[in-house]
Structure 1
Amino acid sequence: MKKRNQYSAEFKSKVVLEVLQEASTVNEIAAKHGINPVVISRWKCEFMERAAEVFKKGPSTAEKELEEKNERVAQLERKIGQLTYEVDWLKKKSEEIIGPDWEKRFR
């Protein structure tokens, strides 16, 4: 079974820009790069659909998702810090009240 080729975004954009320059046909560009012309046509359609996103103001959906994930991570790190502080405080108070060997007696 043949493995599917994975092309980088830079390569795809380079090929699509060649097609848009119209210096050669899609078939010639496909033969030059060893890619099926249908694949190049799909890349071109996707490129044209998403071209407007380049000029949109504000963060993109991917940037929004990344910001939400970063906020969630920061929130969880704050919670871990708070819980660690509480555990350390409880250990200290347990030693003061019960004695330094309290862990041995209660395990």
Structure 2
Amino acid sequence: MPAMNTGKKTQRYSIEFKVKAVEWSYLPHRSVKGVAEALDIHPFMLSRWRKEYREGKFAMKRVKKAPAGAKELLKERDEINRLKRRIAELQEENDILKKFQRFQAEERRKRSDSSGNTGDSTE
């Protein structure tokens, strides 16, 4: 009986590609998911490559050439992540300032209430 051919084509990646993807995924502020999306691969595959890399299954150590287009996508993703962190930081600062403003208004109100209530006498 002949082998069944389902029509699915398995993508083969070079060791250089795998090593570069793994190295990118280890850079600060980069996630496995983000690198996988930029390279158009499944995050599980990248995780598996990371494990193989740690176990020394890849013979290559450093690769200079990046896959086409992936470098730009990763730069954009890094910039987006940096901006998201900055937005979160600014929102937190804004919340703190709002709380401080409410606190000051409350303190002013307490001071004005206590200074106007000195007319109580117990004669």
Provide the TM-score with structure 1 as the length reference.
Answer: 0.45
The structure carrying a bigger helix percent of its residues is 1
